[in-house]
């Protein structure tokens, strides 16, 4: 299926938000994920199903001063 992640269309053959986090190697990072304009609760990443055409935004928290 084709989905959009941070503005880029990709082929994705997995099924959940957690799979995207793993694919982008962000498992140990603080991120916020938005699916089709709705922020997904971190506890729901494993259960939130991705469908063809979904728009995913991943925002990584970065500290600094």
Distances (CA, A) of 53 to 8, 21, 23, 41, 43: 12, 18, 18, 21, 23
What tokens were used for 17?
A: 């938000």
Quote the pLDDT of residue 65: 65
Tens-place pLDDT, residues 22-64: 999 999 989 999 999 999 999 999 999 999 999 999 999 887 7
Quote the pLDDT of residue 45: 96
Quote the pLDDT of residue 61: 83
**pTM strictly above 0.75:** yes
Quote the pLDDT of residue 63: 78
């Amino acid at each position: 299926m084709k989905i959009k992640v941070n503005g880029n269309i990709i082929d994705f053959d997995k099924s959940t938000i957690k799979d995207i986090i793993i694919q982008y190697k962000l498992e140990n990072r603080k991120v916020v994920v938005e699916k089709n304009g709705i922020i997904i609760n971190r506890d729901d990443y494993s259960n939130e199903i991705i469908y063809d055409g979904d728009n995913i935004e991943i925002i990584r928290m970065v500290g600094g001063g």
